[in-house]
Amino acid sequence: GIQGTDVAKQASDIILTDDNFSSIVKAIMWGRNVYDCIAKFLQFQLTANISAAAVSVISAAAISSVPLRAVQMLWVNLIMDTLASLALATESPTEELLTRKPYGRTKSIISPLMLRNILGQSCYQLVIMFIILYAGQHFLGFESTVEKLQNNPDAGKELSAQFTMVFNAFVLMTLFNEINSRKLHGERNVFKGMFTNPFFYGILLFSFGAQIIIVTFGDKVFSCARLDIKQWAWSLLFGVGSLIWQQVCNSIFAKVIHIS
């Protein structure tokens, strides 16, 4: 402790400045919490990056056009980087952190469970976006820009409800996956503790509100066509689907790959 002799202080690895052993417990809790916050952010960001990069590359090769515009990607990156880091890095430590084994020094920060979550959510997002691109005109009530591009290469420059739907669904799936990303160890209740962190749900609500404004009033600035109620309902359903799909991943894939 701080009241120990100078010789004892020099020989020690840790000095308790308040002479209270409970400070060690708090230090362990905060250390594990910081580690977990970094892992949560990585889990969230890698999922969105993989999905955005894959849909852009595949679409550019298949239809010579990219559904996610540059200015839209700037907004997505704002969600992924600045806002998500604030939301996920402000989680307070809990007593549950002390029930887990310590992380090894050589342990990868991306655990097998995290890798499962990243790949599982990325696949879900890609499937939804490609369904909108290639089958959305049959049930979402818009003309197919993909079909127009086959006859007119300049069709991709016009405001497209189909491309806007891809952008909107992607953002909402990303926002709902931010809730999933709060959990790293296959926990069932992804909402547990969420409402004790006003930063998290405040940023989530702000991002959702900003997305509504961008899609509704963005027009040429954000390359967005207005969506009707039905299309918004489908976008919201796709977002909620991220939560449901996470439960499927927790139930099935953990057993298949012998993680749980």
Q: What is the CATH number of the domain that holds 220?
A: 1.20.1110.10
In a domain, 10, yes or no: no
**13 found inside a domain:** no
> Could you give the CA distance from residue 144 to residue 138 in angstroms, rounded to a whole number?
9
Output the furthest CA–CA distance in the chain (Å, rounded).
Answer: 84
Domain that includes residue 209, residue range: 21-94+106-256
**pLDDT per residue as tens digits for the range 32-71:** 999 999 999 999 999 999 999 999 999 989 888 889 999 9
Output the CA–CA distances (angstroms, integers) from residue 68 to 30, 156, 182, in the order listed: 39, 11, 26
The rounded distance, in Å, linking the Cα atoms of 87 and 122 is 21
- Predicted TM-score (pTM) of the model is 0.88
Query: Is the residue at 158 inside a domain?
Result: yes
Please give the pLDDT value at position 254: 59
DSSP assigned state of 52: H
Q: Are 228 and 90 in contact (CB under 8 A)?
A: no
Q: Is 113 within the bounds of a domain?
A: yes
Sites in the chain below the pLDDT cut of 50? 1, 258-260
Helices (H) and strands (E) in the chain, counts: 10, 0
Residue 154 has what pLDDT? Answer: 66
Please state, for a pLDDT cut of 90, what percent of the chain lies above it: 55
Query: Given this model, what pLDDT does residue 1 score?
Result: 47
